[in-house]
Each structure stands twice: as C-alpha cells, then as structure tokens.
Amino acid sequence: MAVTVVAIVRVRNLFAVAMLGGIYSLLAASMFVALDAVDVAFTEAAVGAGISTVLFLGTLAVTSQQEKLPAHSQIIPLFVCAVTGAALIYGSLDMARFGDPKAPIHHHVAPLYLEESQGATSVPNVVTSVLASYRGYDTLGEVTVIFTAGIGVILLLGSWRRGRRKKEDEEA
C-alpha cells in the first residue's frame, strides 16, 4: 500500500493516478478481509475501487490528462500534511492494542450482540444481524451519501457539457 501511495504522489499522468487509486482501494479491501472486517472490505471495494474509480475516469474524460505543475511552493502543503499525520499518530497512541481481549469494545456491546442478536433479529449470522438490524440506519445513510454524490457529479458534468454546447453554437 505504501508503494502505491508513493507512486500516486510521483506520477503526473492522471489516468495512472486514477488506476493507482483503485489499486490502493483494492489493497485496502484485502487488508480489511485479512483483519476479519468483511463488511468494511465489501464497502471499500464497492466505493473505493468501484464507484470512485469510475467517477475519477468520468472526470478525466472532460478534463486534462496531465497534472499541471504547481506555481507555488510545496512547503506549506507538506507542512500541513506532516502536522495532520503527527496529530493522527498522537491520537492513535491511546488506542488498545490490536487483538487485546481486555479492550473496552470486547466488554461493552460485543457480548450483547453475540448473546442476543439471533433471538432479537431471527438472523443466524451475527455480522448480518448487526448490519441489517442494529446498523440499518447507518447503512441507509451511507447509501444516501453515495447516491447524492453520484447525482452531484452527474449534474456537474452535465452542466459543463451544456456550457460547452452553448459556446459551440455561438461560434457556429
């Protein structure tokens, strides 16, 4: 994943960047599967590797294929990224160790879900019962956000084409 990120930063061809972004999302989905977070992996594969890549390619169809060189210094963006990364690392120092059975998550709602989900939802799979019943509104919200973003992109691309057609009609 780190090699993919370095390649994304170094490449100037935007088509290659879009493809590398899809590869990164696919690698992230594979990592989530290895961590037994199949529901998150499915979402990452569908949104990150699927929809996002298609939207990037659609945007590239109406813009330039090459990144323009920046006219300003890159020190300030580098500084902002370094400070943000340091803040994220600092915030993660308080987290429980990976796989720690004494972590708070294993003593709060997880036992409740494991013990009562089949009786409360009549679904034999705990993950499915959590996603479909307990987190149904979250999933509906995620779908709504993705749908709204897709409609927004379609409207933006459509208005760009209408403006281009008007200019072509005026020139003719």
Mean pLDDT of 95-105: 82
Q: What is residue 66's three-state secondary structure?
A: strand
42 lies in a domain? yes
pLDDT score, position 139: 76
| pLDDT tops 80 at residue 128 | no
Q: For residues 152 and 144, what is the distance between their CA atoms, to the nearest angstrom?
A: 12
Structural domain harbouring 37: 1-66
| pLDDT tops 90 at residue 30 | yes
When pLDDT is cut at 50, 70 and 90, the band that residue 163 belongs to is low
Mean pLDDT of 56-84: 84
How many domains would you assign to the chain?
1
1 lies in a domain? yes
Mean pLDDT of 82-106: 88
pLDDT score, position 162: 60
What is the amino acid identity at position 110?
A
Considering the chain, what is the average pLDDT of its residues? 82
144 lies in a domain? no
For the question of whether the overall pTM of this predicted structure is more than 0.75, the answer is no
Q: Count helices and strands (H / E) in the chain.
A: 8, 0
pLDDT score, position 6: 92
74 lies in a domain? no
